[in-house]
Amino acid sequence: MKPLHELTVAQIQQQLIEKKFSSREITQHYLNRIDTLNIDYNCFITVDTNGALTAADQADQAIAEGNSTPLLGVPIAHKDIFCTEGLTTTCGSKMLANFVSPYDATVVSKMKTAGAVMLGKTNMDEFAMGSSNETSFFGPVKNPWNLETVPGGSSGGSAAAVAAQLAPAATGTDTGGSIRQPAALCGITGIKPTYGRVSRYGMIAFASSLDQAGPMTKTAEDAAILLNSMSGLDYKDSTSLDTAVPDFTATLDESLAGLKIGIPKEYFDQRLDTAMADAVQASLAELEKLGAKLVDIELPNSALSVPAYYVIAPAEASSNLSRFDGVRYGYRCNEPEDLEDLYTRTRSEGFGEEVKRRILVGTYALSAGYYDAYYRKAQQIRRLIKDDFVRAFEQVDIIAGPTAPSTAFKFGAKTADPVAMYLEDIYTIAVNLAGLPAMSLPAGQLDNMPIGMQLVGNYFAEHKLLNVAHQFQLATQWHTPTPTSLKG
């Protein structure tokens, strides 16, 4: 029998039903691992030991009574951007270091309703702004594959927790690649659903037209299981879509015969490491063996996605983060002289450098005289990018390519050059601008570090992405290796 921490969510579900172990046993097992190993990885900001064991006992009671819910007794972790009643929600920032939410985010409440046991809250880039998890007020998260490298961001804590087997699954959020890029760098599976598929209520906003929550797991099957419970209309969220939620596990075993996969030439240019390109091409060849057909396509405006994003996202962030002023909640400076001093020192002391940089850029882009030149123009480019995808999906069923331009880089390698850091999301940002679903799955290794392959679908085509990913994972073993730091 496998050690408990090596089991997938699907396997945990089955073995809980068969009473091979209790929810308390597996929850305690993960809590013990977190207690022992989190010091090495810094994945968790908050661990809810008492709450987790209480929820596990309740799950065991429900199982004993013959009750059943989709995730009953399964331990998970939540990114510390989701509000959790009675537990700190920090967003990785000094600004919210002591903030205790009076309510649960919809994603959290849906997971509770499904029976999941929350282990704790995972570390993240401050207010989800970053691609390396180096901007967190609580210190950087370390990549379990190499402790000298970053796990990606902003959902780096969730990605590393799953990779390090400190949780079988975790939630994440994706504004410009923040589920997919860390999933790629940590060798796990992560999916960003269609914008509006999962409620944003109680998810602290970065860029409201781009943010979307999704699951981060070991396998595509596990991602489908979690997405079933996360999805659905929420009247508390005006951006939540009233569209039917299919059973994402029902189509996992469909054949890929005849599936058309678009390969954008723009994703395989000089910006992509040659060895990375070879690994992704080899994985695409595996999909061909499963019956898929590769079709060359073009996304001519994809090169404009990074500059457009870094006008739109900071503009929305400058608006969303204006609420943190020392008056209502969150950090407040000591002994302010007057209201202006309160605002100025609270925000200067409470926000980190990257957050302040983006607030300044966003405020400038929205200011009188520059709105048309920057923000409006960026939104026009956003529409061109969306139209590229619309035309592409007239020819193909899904689009595939690399998730990130390189494997995990070392700490400090890009912190002095914000543009270099922003370019880490060059293959993921366009998807958020268009509001499409996309996912990353392990597709090879380079120098013993994971490589991710990105799959992009048409609107509400999460089932196709998960089907392709599941069939790929049945035919390959790239999702199964254990990080070097865990061996022995």
Residues marked active site are found at 79, 154, 178
Structural tokens at position 314: 């900071």
Burial of 221 (0-12, 13-18, 19+ CB in 10 A): buried
Q: Collect all residues with Cβ–Cβ distance below 8 Å to 296 and sequence separation of at least 6.
A: 262, 263, 265
Alpha-carbon dihedral sign for residues 172, 177, 180, 183: negative
Distance, CA of 409 to CA of 451 (rounded, Å): 12
Tell me if the bond preceding 154 is cis, omega within 30° of 0: yes
Buried b (16+ CB within 10 A) or exposed e, 136-159: bbbebbbbbbbeebbbbbbbbbbb
* Residues 131 and 409: beta-carbon distance below 8 Å: no
Token look-up 């809590």 returns 31
Backbone angles phi, psi at 456, to 5 degrees: -120, 135
> Count of residues for the chain?
488
* Residues 156 and 92: beta-carbon distance below 8 Å: no
Structural tokens at position 232: 């659905």
Distance, CA of 99 to CA of 91 (rounded, Å): 10
